[in-house]
Structure 1
Amino acid sequence: MSNFPLTYKLSWLPRLLKPSLAGDRQGFLPPQATLLSPMPVRTRRLVFLGDISAVANREAPEIEGQLRGVISSADLVIGNCESPVVEKIRRPLGTAAGTRHAMTPLFLAETMAAAGMAPSKLLLSLANNHMLDQDQDGYAETREALASAGIATIGAAEDRLLREIELGGVTVAFAAFTEWRNTGREAFAGRVTMLADLAERDFATLRGAKADLVCVVAHWDREFRHFPQRATRKLARSLTQAGAGLIVGHHAHVLQPAHRIGQTLTAYGLGDFLGTALPRIPWPARLGAVLVVEVSLDPSTRGRVAAYRFVPFLRERLGRRERLVPLEAKTGSLSNKARRRFAAIFPGARMPD
């Protein structure tokens, strides 16, 4: 059984049809800022993507050149692998209905090519509620497929709670967890990292990290709500106190704001990178963002987040696939609504009409 409360399950469809702007809007950040002054002479660039899934796609996406350029400029790209990567479908009825996720290795490879991502520069989190959607054999196949492709992972028991990655002068320790699961506790145990696993002994693993920067990739909060729940903001503070210098969230499937606690940057949710629900959904769920984070290499500030920017985009329907287009390149009534929504989430957002 899943661990979603009944009230959450009952709210899923209404919120999908009309994503909510309700909630506390205090203390959030603009869509881009320089956080260190002076700006470091040298940095390493992390680019974060939202949820990656083939549910709304039969073919790999088209990604407009400017957005592709942002992604391909990264020293490391980090995303959430929202679907098991399998050739064999174990749950055909649920998969056809979109409630059981799956994508093929070919779809993932073609998506990486469309985004300009090299496998050696990609880090995927497996800590999400859909990772057992194709059963335990599907999970094992996913692990094998990603390893064969040369793609590193976090959020699986085999990855341990922290994975350190050296990025040419700065060491980043990545942790990932999911607050939610679609199936029983026993299936996830020993496979996918849950919040309780990371939180053991007051986040002792994070507190003991020796890296220059600790980054937590969190699958949390509630779907189709633009502003995080009070409990999610409290959890962000706990992760910060345990030593996280950067927190990036997924699962809401709509764009959420950013917050700064001390020196820690928290991006609560990036929305979907590729559609995880139906091929045609209400427009607020088609608004997502790529998060670009510059990490300092300078000796006095090594490992600190020096600057960030959210690059918003819209996912358009293009037959059997989606096309990802930067919001600033779009015109018309839909793009104007999307700009207003982006400005409602990020104070001080300024985008051309």
Structure 2
Amino acid sequence: MTPRCTLALAGDTMLGRGVAEELPRTGPKPLFDSGVRAAVADADAFVLNLECCVSARGEPIPIPGKPFHFRAPPVAAEALADLGVRAVTLANNHALDYGPEALLDTLSHLADAGIETVGAGADLDQARAPVLLSAGGLRIGLLGVTDHPPEYAAGPGKPGVAFADLGQGVPDWLTEQIRDLREHTDIVLVTVHWGPNIVGEPVDHVRRAAPALLDAGATLIAGHSAHVFHGYTRHVLYDLGDFIDDYAIHPALRNDRSLLWLVALDENGPRRTEAVPLSLDYCRTRLTDPDTPDWDWTARRLIDVCARLGTDVEQRDGRVATDWTR
């Protein structure tokens, strides 16, 4: 029998500011309702983008024009482990918000909680290093990379993130790393923090980068950064949307309506992509009730943005999905 697995994927997960204030007061369980927890438990592994550092140290890093700095308390690592998170990418524009010592604390706290990390490290080699996961009998190679900001890029002996200026094309080091990882694993998952915030569809350089990553050997690409979910194809989830935060709500794009993603795969690639509608309340995330206008809005928007990419989507049992085996 062909080995198969189901990956749960979530986008921008911000556990700082208001969420950080909630954690010591309520503990981790109220952050995510039982429906979210049950959906995650259906998967063999859960991977998300952690868009903050986890530390009690550091000061906001001074970058001109940067308005937001996100830092979660050390207990945040336990909250992620309690939810069942296996790995996170730190390749984003907030991993270094409180400086190198806070980033190193983040790596330590997550490791202590049993959570793997990609996309950031104590130096360039560590930031670019993949993680190997076993799920459902399959060997999964996980990579994390971000296209902003260049100021957070790791270097020789310099803590930071795995940075690639995707606006100028996919760099050779990244394609070579994907090819090498593909030779030693069944599935290569590349998680990419790309493009600007609050846009409803992938921008041009994101659309150009995705095929290059697939050509190099990526099995599945999971994008994030926009804070708004985008459409998907069989091998590319252009933007996963937000997962938890305390952000202001955009009146049209509604970043408080999001998705948890469940992708069933075998060694030939995705067999089914399911998206579970989420409602992001202030510092809390819950499954959206299928009998509400919010669920209808989320499903309709996903169907629309997928149609523009040539992907047919069906609604069934409180989820929105595409079966790639038909």
TM-score of Structure 1 vs Structure 2, range by shorter chain: 0.7 to 0.9
- Indicate how the Cα distance of structure 1 residues 109 and 182 shifts in structure 2: closer, same or farther if over 3 A, else same: farther
The corresponding residue for 1:123 is 87
| Separation (CA, whole Å) in 1 of partners of 2:225 and 2:154 | 22
8 A contact 1:128–1:177 mirrored in 2: yes
Letter in 2 for 1:199: P
- Please give the secondary structure, in 1, of the residue aligned with 2:213: helix
8 A contact 1:132–1:187 mirrored in 2: no
Letter in 2 for 1:251: S
1:255-289 per-position Cα deviation (integer Å, ceiling 9, x unaligned): 111024xxxx10011111012634x6547111111
- Please give the secondary structure, in 1, of the residue aligned with 2:92: coil
Identity of aligned residues (%): 23
| Separation (CA, whole Å) in 1 of partners of 2:39 and 2:171 | 34
1:325 aligns with 2:290: no
| Separation (CA, whole Å) in 2 of partners of 1:207 and 1:187 | 22
The corresponding residue for 1:221 is 195
Q: 1:291 aligns with which of 241, 244, 261?
A: 261
1:126-205 paired onto structure 2 within 5 Å: 126-156=90-120, 157-158=125-126, 160-181=128-149, 183=151, 185=153, 190-195=159-164, 199-201=171-173, 203-205=175-177
Aligned residues: 291
Q: Report the aligned-residue RMSD.
A: 3.0
The corresponding residue for 1:59 is 22
| Separation (CA, whole Å) in 1 of partners of 2:222 and 2:109 | 25
1:45 aligns with 2:16: no
- Please give the secondary structure, in 2, of the residue aligned with 1:315: strand
- Indicate how the Cα distance of structure 1 residues 107 and 290 shifts in structure 2: closer, same or farther if over 3 A, else same: same
The corresponding residue for 2:26 is none
8 A contact 1:48–1:79 mirrored in 2: yes
The corresponding residue for 1:3 is none
The corresponding residue for 1:304 is 269
8 A contact 1:158–1:191 mirrored in 2: no
The corresponding residue for 1:341 is 301
The corresponding residue for 1:88 is 57
8 A contact 2:154–2:163 mirrored in 1: no
- Please give the secondary structure, in 2, of the residue aligned with 1:208: helix
Letter in 1 for 2:259: A
- Please give the secondary structure, in 2, of the residue aligned with 1:259: coil
**Which segments of 5 or more consecutive residues in structure 1 lack a partner in the other structure?**
1-39, 297-301
1:268 aligns with 2:242: no
Cα distance, 1:144 vs structure 2: 1.4
When the two structures are superposed, what TM-score results if normalisation uses the length of structure 1? Answer: 0.73
1:104-150 per-position Cα deviation (integer Å, ceiling 9, x unaligned): 1213423543x3x1xxx510101111111001111111111112222
| Separation (CA, whole Å) in 2 of partners of 1:258 and 1:48 | 13
- Indicate how the Cα distance of structure 1 residues 139 and 295 shifts in structure 2: closer, same or farther if over 3 A, else same: same
Letter in 2 for 1:268: Y
- Please give the secondary structure, in 1, of the residue aligned with 2:255: helix
| Separation (CA, whole Å) in 2 of partners of 1:235 and 1:249 | 11
The corresponding residue for 1:79 is 48
- Please give the secondary structure, in 2, of the residue aligned with 1:203: helix
8 A contact 2:128–2:144 mirrored in 1: no
The corresponding residue for 1:102 is 71
| Separation (CA, whole Å) in 2 of partners of 1:218 and 1:153 | 14
Letter in 1 for 2:4: T
| Separation (CA, whole Å) in 1 of partners of 2:154 and 2:132 | 28
The corresponding residue for 2:322 is none
Cα distance, 1:196 vs structure 2: 5.2
| Separation (CA, whole Å) in 1 of partners of 2:306 and 2:160 | 36
The corresponding residue for 1:313 is 278
Letter in 1 for 2:103: Y
When the two structures are superposed, what TM-score results if normalisation uses the length of structure 2? Answer: 0.79
| Separation (CA, whole Å) in 2 of partners of 1:143 and 1:79 | 15
- Please give the secondary structure, in 2, of the residue aligned with 1:312: strand
- Indicate how the Cα distance of structure 1 residues 50 and 343 shifts in structure 2: closer, same or farther if over 3 A, else same: same
| Separation (CA, whole Å) in 2 of partners of 1:168 and 1:337 | 34
**Which segments of 5 or more consecutive residues in structure 2 lack a partner in the other structure?**
24-29, 308-312, 319-326
| Separation (CA, whole Å) in 2 of partners of 1:81 and 1:202 | 21
8 A contact 2:189–2:218 mirrored in 1: yes
Cα distance, 1:158 vs structure 2: 1.9
- Indicate how the Cα distance of structure 1 residues 182 and 329 shifts in structure 2: closer, same or farther if over 3 A, else same: farther
| Separation (CA, whole Å) in 1 of partners of 2:246 and 2:226 | 11
